[in-house]
Amino acid sequence: MKVTVVGAGNVGATCADVLATREIANEVVLVDIKEGFAEGKALDIWQKSPIIGYDSRTVGVTGDYSRTADSEVVVITSGLPRKPGMSRDDLISTNAGIVKSVTEQVVKYSPNAIIIVVSNPLDVMTYQAHLTSGLPRNKVFGMAGILDTARYRAFLAEALNVSPKDIQAVLMGGHGDTMVPLPRYTTVGGIPVTELIGKEQLDAIVQRTAVGGGELVKLMGTSAWYAPGAAAAQMVEAIVRDQRRVFPVCIKLEGEYGIDGVYLGAPVILGKNGIEKVIELQLNDEEKQLLETSRGHVKEVMDALDKMTEATA
């Protein structure tokens, strides 16, 4: 059992660390383009094994994808963060090129791998990886919904002074500002959250969740890594162990929710084949409108990528 994580930055290294610590795979391969970077991170994680007590081997390589051959799951975290003065289109163009190159190498050496995309902008990078790989949608999807719901659940646990373990929630749509909150599907120990918290406070928590990544950037000067890395690892675990967990993930919708050909977060069953099933919820009119707004935003970014691709063809 081999899992590869491409990108040994904070998110990738955290993902590899969680995978190893939880013994989700026999071998975790960490890949980066910076000389010695992945090797160092992997060695550090391996040297922690006698302290924490785990057997998973972590191996780091610089740009050598042959070492990743026959991986069952590959997590792509590669890409640059948006820098001051960089337009959205600049970020899309740069990261799309990186994700395209990485995906080509991944499918060359692991043609049967399931690919999880974490690179930003998440929805459109998932689109890029899907186009490049040529794999079916159940084998190429993005991590965002688990992170967004984790933030939402953490904020609710804090507000209600309860364990986050007892909070279950679903969010849909694009990653970030246009996400679609679904308080009707949020429960605390089986109790609808609306019975435990007022609408004004709940709305404030939903809004804080939508800008959750930005809050961390303001605090630290860089984007988050512990929660995103752990979220990606949780998806890998569901696949490797065929847990059939119900998670919101970014997937190409093909008629579900009346949407076709756009990559959006939706609840799915995640198991050994990747996405085993897309779950269609019965949304009310307000939720449908929010999802349509999110669809329009993501489609706009996808169209921008298409135009860039045509211009360079």
Question: pLDDT tens-digit profile of 34-54?
Answer: 999 999 999 999 999 999 999
**Chain region(s) in the chain for CATH 3.90.110.10:** 145-305
Alpha-helix residue ranges (DSSP H) falling in 28-135: 37-47, 49-52, 88-109, 122-133
Q: Are 29 and 68 in contact (CB under 8 A)?
A: yes
Q: Check pLDDT > 70 for residue 83.
A: no
| 245 annotated as a binding-site residue | no
| Residue 84 pLDDT | 64
Mean pLDDT for the stretch of residues 57-82: 95
User: Is 11 annotated for ligand binding?
Assistant: yes
Compute the average pLDDT of residues 204-211. 94
Enzyme catalytic residues: 175
Kindly state the percentage of the chain with pLDDT values over 70. 97
How many whole angstroms separate alpha carbon 166 and alpha carbon 193?
11
pLDDT of 175 strictly over 90: no
Average pLDDT (222-239) is 96
Is the pLDDT assigned to residue 181 strictly greater than 90?
no
Query: Locate tokens 């706009």: which residue?
Result: 300
32 marked ligand binding residue: yes
pTM: 0.96
pLDDT the model gives residue 221: 86
Q: Strand 2-6 to strand 73-76: parallel, antiparallel, or no bridges (unpaired)?
A: parallel
Homologous superfamily of 2-144 in CATH? NAD(P)-binding Rossmann-like Domain (3.40.50.720)
Please tell me the CATH code under which domain 145-305 is placed: 3.90.110.10
Task: Please say if the pLDDT value at position 176 is more than 80.
Answer: no
Q: What is the pLDDT of residue 81?
A: 75
Q: Residue 309 pLDDT > 90, yes or no?
A: no
CATH 3.40.50.720 domain position(s) in the chain? 2-144
Q: Parallel, antiparallel, or unpaired: how do β-strands 191-192 and 187-188 relate?
A: antiparallel
The response to whether 244 counts as a known ligand-binding position is no
Query: Is 82 annotated among the ligand-binding residues?
Result: yes
